[in-house]
Amino acid sequence: MRADSDYGRRSSPSSRKATATRSHKGSPSPSRTHLLSAAGLSSSKNATHSPLSRSWAAGQVERSIAELSLKCQQLTGQLERLAKNFAREVDERRGTEDKLTRHVQQQVEELVNIVRESEAKTEQDVGQALKVLRSNLSLQMTEASGRHLQKLEKKLSDEFNKVVERSSADFGERLSKEGAEINQRVAKIEALLRRSTERFTDALDPMRATLTDLSSRFEEVESKAMLGQPGEGQMSPSRLKQQ
């Protein structure tokens, strides 16, 4: 009861003035009656005309609304911080993807250069081999028979095929090695993005549920305060004092 008296003394002058005015008129205003009903107070004549009971009930309702509003603001701030962190992480991932894209482009350019160098080297080697074989062939043309000429042509063809096979094998090995490295890096980036999205979703779901629950409670308290409809779970003034 002392806490009720202290709360009544701490109430604003305008509230005390409004309470006194309504007491002189003989009956509380409809809004105050609704607040008393929403708080679960008795609607008897003695309870209705008690200024302390009305002030205490109004204070409880206002305090509940203030607490719910504060919790909603805190959850909103947490959601904003989480959204900023997620946006920053997405920007970092995009930067990593850009770096990987540039690296892939560099690797492709290097592969193209390797192919061009291999082709140039192959053409140079084939040209030198042809020059040597032609010089040897020109020296042996006069004294070589048709069969010997066919052997020389076969030898030239075999050497040319060997040069081409070596160049193709070297290029294929380099290309497969670089492709495997690029695939591994792309897979790592995709795994990181998936984990980041899952963490953000897991952190956001309970916050959404809490915010929905708080909004429902806020609407329930507000509807009880404005409409004065008695609902389930109302508590007596003595039980409210204990809480």
pLDDT single digits (tens) 59-117: 889 989 999 999 999 999 999 999 999 999 999 988 888 888 888 888 888 888 888 88
For CA atoms 189, 193, 198, 199, the dihedral sign is positive
Structural domain count of the chain: 1
pLDDT mean over 138-164? 75
Compare 8 and 107 and report the one with higher pLDDT: 107
* pLDDT score, position 189: 86
d(CA 34, CA 30): 6
Instruction: Quote the tokens at residue 125.
Output: 């080697």
* pLDDT score, position 227: 75
pLDDT band at 54 (very low <50, low <70, confident <90, very high): confident
d(CA 4, CA 63): 14
Other Cβ atoms less than 10 A from the Cβ of 34: the count is 18
Instruction: Quote the tokens at residue 27.
Output: 């009956």
Compare 133 and 113 and report the one with higher pLDDT: 113
Cβ within 8 Å of residue 240, ≥6 positions away? 39, 40, 60
Cβ within 8 Å of residue 156, ≥6 positions away? 129, 130, 133
* pLDDT score, position 125: 81
Compare 234 and 64 and report the one with higher pLDDT: 64
pLDDT(155) > 90? no
- The string of DSSP codes covering 22-52 is HHHHTS--HHHHHHHHHTT---SHHHHT-HH
Domain that holds residue 44: 2-20+29-242
Return left, alpha or beta for 23; rule: phi > 0 is left, psi -120 to 50 is alpha, else beta.
alpha
Identify which of 2, 33, 43 has the alpha carbon closest to the alpha carbon of residue 226: 33
For CA atoms 184, 190, 194, 200, the dihedral sign is positive
